[in-house]
Structure 1
């Protein structure tokens, strides 16, 4: 990924936040000269000796057989939006602005390991469920279904783990613009409902 110095995102807390809050990652793999991409919800684990990503795939998905032990790329993309030059105050003075697209993205590289054990898969599913059901009035939990049903479902998926070797972040938030232009664009995005991206743009000048 091309990352100009002014768009580099090096803050660990922000990188981890983006992964956790935008956890549907794109797992990019290569096999026999062909690239493949799978969209999977991941969990980030930082408590061990090395940071990890964990997920599961359908047993019928060939990716776990083809990519076991291979280097992979996982992409997490935060909120993104088109930015009109009309939102920059300076545009109306000098007419020297062009359209762009602002976004935040994290690329994670590491080696994939297949974890085809029922205990591992059950743990991943349980934790992902608790995380994403937390906002529900009555969160769904695995015990809502019969043990036989859940066991049958777990037999149809395979766990994967990515041992992280590199995390590269890019926050393209109009840092290369005048403060008034960056803030003008942020205010317009906030009006349009892109609150997270607008907030990140405002904070980029702090």
Structure 2
């Protein structure tokens, strides 16, 4: 990923938090027939390895499920808040007119070896933890144990699990850090006006 210095984020706690908030990732690896991409919810264990380890599961019919030979390199891409940025919000537009549109976004790339596992008990533990992660904040959370045990075991036979120990972690927070203060303030105000407060909050501004 191309990351100019102004947009680089390398604090691991910030990167891990963004991964948790995103939840869903695009998993990419090179298979026998070329690049393979899958969209997969992933669970992060921050304590497993120096950069953490990602876990998820795939349908056995997914080409990725056959491409997890030991040492296979993979990339998990997480997307954070993003928005189109119109030059109309820039103070510089009114001063010189020398502006163009852009896009603000957060992206995290996690690189590492892709490891497949099929153990039923390990798969059950994984889907249980994933479910707790996404159901825990609900008023009436669903649990894996709400479904009949034989049904769950049958479902597990149709999937494989994977682990992706993160060997390299990159973060890009492209939020107009390269623009003058007046432009950044205009962007933040414009985004809030369009209901994009989650993106506006990431634009660095000094409102005095």
Q: Label 1:99 to 1:49 Cα distance change in 2 as closer, same or farther (>3 A).
A: closer
Indicate if the aligned counterparts of 1:173 and 1:204 stay in contact, CA closer than 8 A.
no
Determine the C-alpha separation between the residues in 2 that align with 1:52 and 1:138: 29
Are 2:91 and 1:84 equivalent residues in the alignment? no
* 1:48 to partner: Cα distance: 2.8
The counterpart of 2:118, out of the listed 116, 119, 123, is: 116
SS at structure 1 position matched to 2:131: helix
- SS, match of residue 171 in structure 1: strand
Aligned to 2:198: 196
CA RMSD of aligned residues (A): 1.6
Structure 2 Cα separation of the partners of residues 203 and 88 of structure 1: 13
Taking structure 2 as the reference length, what is the TM-score of the superposition?
A: 0.93
User: In 2 relative to 1, CA 104–72 (structure 1 residues): closer, same or farther, beyond 3 Å?
Assistant: same
Q: Whole-Å Cα distance in 2 between the matches of residues 121 and 193 of structure 1?
A: 40
Instruction: Tell me by how many angstroms 1:53 deviates.
Output: 0.5
Correspondence 1:1-206 to 2 at 5 A: 1-32=1-32, 34-50=34-50, 51-69=52-70, 70-202=72-204
Q: Does the CA-based 8 Å contact 1:175-1:204 persist in structure 2?
A: no
1:172–1:162 CA distance, 2 compared to 1 (3 A): same
Kindly tell me: are residues 30 and 49 of structure 1, through their superposed partners in 2, closer, same or farther at Cα, counting changes over 3 Å? closer
Change (3 A) 1:187 1:55: same
Per mean C-alpha deviation after superposition, the further-off stretch among 145-154 and 195-204 is: 195-204
| 1:46-99 superposed Cα distances (whole Å, 9 cap, x missing partner) | 123442100000112121222322011110011111000001122112111110
Quick check: 193-202 or 152-161, which moved more?
Answer: 193-202
Call closer, same or farther: CA 1:90–1:203 in 2, change over 3 Å: closer
Q: Which structure 1 residue ranges, 5 or more long, are not aligned?
A: none
Q: CA offsets per residue over residues 15-60 of structure 1, 9 Å max, x none?
A: 1111110021101011125111000000111123442100000112
TM-score for the superposition, normalised by structure 1: 0.94
Instruction: Summarize the Cα distance change of 1:142–1:202 in structure 2 as closer, same or farther, 3 Å threshold.
Output: same
CA distance in structure 1 between the partners assigned to 2:189 and 2:83 by the alignment: 13
Quote the offset at 1:203 in angstroms: 6.5
Q: Contact (CA 8 Å) 2:49, 2:166: kept in 1 or not?
A: no
**1:30–1:67 Cα contact (<8 Å) kept:** no
